[in-house]
Amino acid sequence: MSAAETTVRPRRSLLTNPTLRSIVYQVLLCVAVGLLVYAAISNAADNLARARIATGFGFWNTTAGFDISQTLIEYSSRGSTYGRAFWVGLLNTLLVGGLGIIFATVLGFVIGIARLSSNWLVAKVAAGYVELIRNLPLLLQLLFWYNAVLKTLPDTRDSYVVAGSVFLNNRGLVLPRAVLQAGSGALALTLLAGMVAAVVYRIWAKRRQALTGKPAPVLKVIAALVILPPLIFVALHGFPAVFEFPERGRFNITGGVEVLPEFAALLFGLVIYTAAFIAEAVRAGIQSVPSGQVEAAHALGLRPNLALRFIVMPQAMRVIIPPLTSQYLNLVKNSSLAVAIGYPDLVQVFTGTVLNQTGQAVEVVALTMAVYLVISLTASLVMNIYNRLIAPVGERA
C-alpha cells in the first residue's frame, strides 16, 4: 500500500516535458515558415517594383494580341483578352487530356490483357511494348513523333490521300467535315432517346436476372435500340447533314476539318506512353485475382472470355482503379509537355506567351498550378468516393 505512495515520481524538468517540447517545435516551425514567406513576399515586392512589373490580375481583361493555332471557342488576336486566351488554353488541355484518357484506356487494357495471353507470341510482343515504351522519356517520344515522323511526311502537294477525302501531310491531317442542316437536332434527340432506352433496358434486364435467373438478350436489344431509331429517322427525312470534303487547291487544301500535327503528335505520344503504364496496372490487377476463381469459373462451364468478363474483371477492377486514376492524372499533367512541340495547351499559351508578354510570373504560374491542383484534387475526391462504393460489403466502413 504504502509502496505505491512512496514511489518517487521521476522529476520532470520542463526541458523534457513532451507536450511542451512539441508545442515549442511547432511554434518554431511556424515562425520559420512565416519568416520565409514574409521574406519571399517582401523580396518579390521590391524586385517587381524595381522592374516596373504590375501586380494583380489587371491583365486579365487586356487585349491579348497574339494568335492561337487551335481554338475551340471563338478567339481572335485583335479582340480577345488574356482571360479568353486562358480559357482557350484550358479547353485545349482538356481536349487532349479527355481524348488521351479514352484511347489510352482502350489500348492499355488490350495490352494488359495481351500480356497474360495464352498465346506466347502475343504475350511477348505486349511485354516488349511495355518494356520499350516505359523506359524512354515521354519528351523524347513526343519529339520523335513530331519531328521525325509527322514533319517528314510529304508536303501539301504530295499528301497521302485515304479514300479520296482524308489528307495526311506535314501540316497535319484533314478530315471531311459534317455541316449540320435543319433536322440534325431531331436526329441527335432520336439517338439520345435510343441510348436512354438502352440504359433503362440494361438495368431492367440485370435486375430481372438477379431476381429470377432468366437472362435477357442484352447486346442485340441495345444495338437495336441505339441504331434503329436514327436509321428510321434518316429513311423518313433524309440525312440532315452534308459532308464537306477537303479538296486539293493549288497551294493548300481547302475545306474539311484540320487536325494540327502538334495535336496529333501530342495525342499519339501521350496515348502510347500512358497505355504502357495502364497495361502494367491491368496486368497486376488481373494477377491479383486468386487462380481458384478462374478455375471455379471454368468448372462452372463458363468459357474463358465469359470468365474474364464476369469473374476476373469485376474483382480485378478494385485493384486496377487506384493506379488507373493516377495514370489518368499523369496523362493530364504530362499533356503540359505540349509546350515542347508547340501545341497551344494551357501551359504553352499561358505560362509561355502570356507570361512573356506581361512578365507577371507570380500570377501566371500560380494560376496555372491552381488549375492542375483543382483537377488533381477533384479526381482524388471522386476516386475516394468510388473506392468506398465498390469496396466489398464486408469491408465497408
Partner 1 sequence: MTGVAGERAYADLAFVQRAPIGALPPPLAMRGPWGWLRANLFSSAFNIVLTVVMLALIVWIGKSTIDFLFIDAVWVGHDRTACMASEQRPHVGACWPFVWERLNYFTYGSYPIPQRWRVDVFFAMLAIGVAWLLWLEAPRRDLGALYFFVVLPVCSFILLSGAPALGLETVDTSLWGGVLVTVVVSTVGIVVSLPLGIVLALGRRSRMPAVRLFSVIFIEFVRGVPLITVLFMASVMLPLFVPEDLTPDKLLRALIGIALFASAYMAEVVRAGLQAIPRGQYEAATALGLKFWPQMGLVILPQALRVTIPNIVNTTIGLFKDTTLVFIVGIFDLLRTIEVARIDPKWATPVTSPTGYAVAALFYWVFCYAMARYARHMELRLSAGQERR
Among 67, 131, 155, 158, binds partner 1 (CB under 8 A): 131
Q: How far is the CB of 244 from partner 1 (least distance, A)?
A: 33
Least Å distance between CB 193 and partner 1? 37
Residues that contact partner 1, how many (by CB under 8 A): 54
Torsion of CA 309, 314, 318, 319, to 10 degrees: -40
For residue 210, the number of C-alpha atoms closer than 13 Å in the C-beta half-sphere is: 6
Residue 351 makes contact with partner 1 by CB under 8 A: yes
User: Hey, CA dihedral for 358, 363, 369, 375, is it positive or negative?
Assistant: negative
Find out whether 85 and 350 touch, Cβ atoms under 8 Å.
yes
Looking at the chain, the number of H-run helices and the number of E-run strands are 15, 8
Say if residues 273 and 138 touch (Cβ distance below 8 Å). Answer: yes
For the CA atoms of 275, 276, 277, 281, the dihedral, rounded to the nearest 10 degrees, stands at 90
Q: For residue 332, which of 89, 88, 97 has the smallest C-alpha distance? A: 97
CB of 173 to partner 1, least distance (A): 20
Site membership for partner 1, residue 49 (CB under 8 A)? no
Minimum Å gap between C-beta 85 and partner 1 is 17
Binding string, residues 247-286; x marks residues near partner 1 by CB under 8 A: ----------------------------------------
Instruction: Report the nearest approach of partner 1 to the CB of residue 264 (Å).
Output: 17
- Tell me if 377 contacts partner 1 by CB under 8 A: yes
Q: Cell 515520481 maps to which residue?
A: 9
Chain-centroid distance, C-alpha 95: 9
Q: Which C-beta is closer to partner 1: that of 25 or that of 160?
A: 25
Q: Is 136 in the site for partner 1 (CB under 8 A)?
A: yes
Interface pick for partner 1 out of 12, 35, 38, 47 (rule CB under 8 A): 47
Q: Does 20 bind partner 1 (CB under 8 A)?
A: no
Instruction: Kindly identify the residues of this chain, within the stretch 90-119, that bind partner 1 according to CB under 8 A.
Output: 117-119
Which residue, 48 or 317, is less far from partner 1 as judged by CB? Answer: 48
- Asked if 224 and 167 touch (Cβ cutoff 8 Å), the reply is no
Q: At 271, which helix (H) or strand (E)?
A: helix 261-287
Element containing residue 162 per DSSP (H, E) = strand 160-162
Q: Does 347 bind partner 1 (CB under 8 A)?
A: yes
Q: Give the residues lining the site for partner 1 (CB under 8 A).
A: 22, 25-26, 29-30, 33, 39-40, 43-44, 46-48, 50, 117-122, 125, 131-132, 134-140, 143-144, 147-148, 151-152, 333-334, 336-337, 339-340, 347, 351, 355, 361-362, 365, 368-369, 372-373, 376-377
